[in-house]
Every structure is written in C-alpha cells, then in structure tokens.
Amino acid sequence: MSGENIETIGSFHMRHSEEPKTSGELLIRIDERTKILIEDMNSLKMNYVRKEEFQPVRNIVYGMMGLIAVAVVGALIRLVVAQ
C-alpha cells in the first residue's frame, strides 16, 4: 500500500502506483478511465430534464419573480410619493 494513491472518478475508486511502470500499464489506466467516463456519461443521458418538462417550472418561477419585482418597485414608488 505504500506509494499508492486512491483516485476517484465518478463513483469508482482506483488504486494505482505513483508512476506507471510501462506504457502498457498507462494504456490500461487510460482504458479504465475511458470506460468509467463513458458509463458516467450514459447515466447522465438517462437522468436529465427535457425542455418540455422544464417549461412549466420555468414559467412559475419567472411569474413569482415578476410579482416580487413589481411589489418591490411599487413599495419604492410609494415611499417616494408619500414623502
């Protein structure tokens, strides 16, 4: 275990020595990392929100922010006019 690092890529932990001893070991490490990255990308493709699903949430949030902005501007105008 001495001289080894634990590297985390995604949810996968890899142990490797500080320096690869041969170019074959380096290629194996690159291949393992590539496979892990491809698996992570495939899982991300399965877990995303489509634009059609996001549109109603966006409309609600924009509407609420618009109401808050109108209330703040109205309160500021009332303060200026009342004085």
Give me the residue spans of the domains in the chain. 4-46, 49-83
pTM: 0.44
Angle at CA of residue 26, ends 41 and 31, nearest 5°: 25
Please spell the DSSP secondary structure of 36-83, one letter per residue: HHHHHHHHHHHS---HHHHHHHHHHHHHHHHHHHHHHHHHHHHHHHH-
- Model confidence at 15: pLDDT above 70: no
Reported as a single tens digit per residue, the pLDDT across 21-79 is 788 888 888 899 999 999 888 888 777 777 788 889 999 999 999 999 999 999 999 99
- The predicted pLDDT at position 11 comes to 53
Residue 12 has pLDDT above 70, yes or no: no
